[in-house]
Structure 1
Amino acid sequence: MAEVLEFRVPSGPGRTLLVLGLETDATEHALYLAFSAFGPLYSVRLHRNAAVAGPGYYALVKYYSARDARRAQLACDRQPLFQKSALKVCLCTRQRSFLQQNLALNSSKCQELANHYLGFNGWSSRIVTLQDISGFEGEENDEEDARGSTGSQRCKYLCVRELTIPQHGICVRGLGVAEVPVDPGEGFLTAMRSAQKLAVLKALSEAFQKILLVVLENGKVAVEYVSSQEDLVDCLAEEELKGLLQVTDLPFLQLNPDGEEEILSDFSMEGD
């Protein structure tokens, strides 16, 4: 049996465990160490019991893989793990509709998932182009800037980043756009650097959305390209791509709904 994993926030039944009977000294770190032994985790959330349930905590542990979640449930249920008393571990088979949104993973989570299944040396990325596109905002904003309205200035950058998985013959590109307001107290340079870094992160996340991981029962992994339609960012040569970005109005969906909060200092990140 094969399981298909996307670089998206895991949703659907069978990927989340409910852990009951946690003692008052339980921590998310201890939960992470115990349950990550069965596969990569998307999140671990520790919550205080309701007053009627007495002191202690319960936790929600979410896996990317339903197979990993099932293995963890079978192995950990009725076991003490890191405490004296036994835990009750249940597999959540239902989720509310608002949890079913298929949100993209941010770049940090994408890298964690890729490193686990492909290895730290199994993938790499590079920046194809990183351009200032603040000038596309229109004449009205230009007139305001000319009057000295620095409080309304915004710095906007576009990045195209290439993701390569050589062992599987995969090479895709992602596009990211970031816009940051210029804080008069910090200056334009700070806003420019933040916009550049966020655009680079979003571009990597968008590139990962174009591939699927097919995980077999024996642990072997295949990678598939899943772009649903002809993608200009992937099809054009590097020279053509740079020229196109300079003259068009960028009709792309560039926003990452999952958000990007990380700020990295090195743009040319690799899997190693």
Structure 2
Amino acid sequence: MADVLEFRVPAGNSTTLLVLGLETDEAEHALYEAFSAFGLLYSVRIRKNAPVARPGYHALVKFYSARDARRAQDALNQQCLFQKSPLKVCICTRQRSFPQQAWALNSYKCQELANHYLGFNGWSSHIITLQNISGFEEEEVRTSPRSQQLKYLCIQELTIPQHGICTRGVGVAEPHVDTSQEFLMAAYRAQKLAAQQALSNAFQKILFVALENGKIAVEYSSTQEDLVDCLTEEELGGLIQVTDLTSSQMSPEGEEEILSDFSMDGE
């Protein structure tokens, strides 16, 4: 069966394995090495057992692919791996009474997922526009002369040539600056963050379909026609009014990764 992968934090029990019987809380790297042999991991987290359970630790290993999670469970359940006693590996069956929000992956995780399935040369991106769209509130300036509001807009194009996919993303960063000494650093970080958000937003419009034979299909999955994808670069270059990206669209882990350049590709 095909496995559909979105550029969002994996949700649902089928992609998460519960590992029981850990003897130490310092086995994160060993777990990552063992389980990543079966597919790309989103996270590995070790926790102490509840007081009502036997002493020790357990781990939650989250894959992007439910198929990879099942393969890892079949192969590693009741294996000792890196310790003397065997580990119990099972699909997480914890039920939630409320719907889980599908958080967008941050730009670093998007690149990691794309590189895994497309290869390091399978995609590329470039910035179409990176603009300072800052505005100053007169009332704020009067009450706090040294306070400024900084705002940057980035529009970035993502291309996957082997699959004929080209889409664009929008990012807006608006840090608050309290002193003139912080302004240059805040402007630099705002540009970085806007570029990261734009790349993440572009990836949200596509999905991967991982077939049983190992091949990958890439589909454009935006629910409605996106004006940013329809305009020419010249039209986008002069774009002033944009739809702001709210914090609810971002991963709970945020965009903490600062990349070395605005223009990014799979290399």
1:204 to 199, 203, 211: 199
1:251 and 2:251 are equivalent in the alignment: no
Cα gap change, 1:234 to 1:58, in 2 (>3 Å): same
TM-score after normalising by structure 1: 0.91
Deviation at 1:55, TM superposition (A): 3.2
Percent identical among aligned pairs is: 70
Aligned-partner Cα distance in 2 for 1:94–1:52 = 17
The question of whether the paired residues in 1 share the 8 Å contact of 2:125 and 2:265 is answered with yes
Task: Give the secondary-structure state (helix, strand or coil) at the position aligned to 1:150.
Answer: coil
| Farther-moved stretch of structure 1 (94-103 vs 32-41) | 94-103
Aligned-partner Cα distance in 1 for 2:9–2:25 = 29
Aligned to 1:227: 222
Aligned to 1:88: 88
Deviation at 1:253, TM superposition (A): 4.1
The question of whether the paired residues in 2 share the 8 Å contact of 1:183 and 1:191 is answered with no
1:266 to 257, 261, 267: 261
The question of whether the paired residues in 2 share the 8 Å contact of 1:26 and 1:57 is answered with no
Deviation at 1:122, TM superposition (A): 0.3
Deviation at 1:52, TM superposition (A): 3.8
Task: Give the secondary-structure state (helix, strand or coil) at the position aligned to 1:51.
Answer: coil
Give deviations 1:219-269, integer Å, cap 9, x for gaps.
1001000111111110000001112x23x3x23545432121222231111
Aligned-partner Cα distance in 1 for 2:235–2:166 = 17
Runs of 4+ in 1 over 6 A off after TM superposition: none
The question of whether the paired residues in 1 share the 8 Å contact of 2:5 and 2:210 is answered with yes
Aligned to 2:107: 107
The question of whether the paired residues in 1 share the 8 Å contact of 2:124 and 2:159 is answered with yes
- What amino acid is the match of 1:212? L
- What amino acid is the match of 1:133? I
Unaligned runs of 5+ in 2: none
Deviation at 1:56, TM superposition (A): 2.0
Aligned to 2:57: 57
Task: Give the secondary-structure state (helix, strand or coil) at the position aligned to 1:268.
Answer: coil
Deviation at 1:82, TM superposition (A): 1.2
Aligned to 1:18: 18
Task: Give the secondary-structure state (helix, strand or coil) at the position aligned to 2:265.
Answer: coil
Task: Give the secondary-structure state (helix, strand or coil) at the position aligned to 2:5.
Answer: strand
Deviation at 1:149, TM superposition (A): 2.2
Deviation at 1:168, TM superposition (A): 0.3
Aligned-partner Cα distance in 1 for 2:50–2:223 = 46
TM-score after normalising by structure 2: 0.93
Task: Give the secondary-structure state (helix, strand or coil) at the position aligned to 2:81.
Answer: coil
Task: Give the secondary-structure state (helix, strand or coil) at the position aligned to 2:13.
Answer: coil
CA RMSD, 1 decimal: 1.8
- What amino acid is the match of 2:31? L
- What amino acid is the match of 2:260? S
Aligned to 1:6: 6
Aligned-partner Cα distance in 1 for 2:113–2:53 = 36
Task: Give the secondary-structure state (helix, strand or coil) at the position aligned to 1:24.
Answer: coil
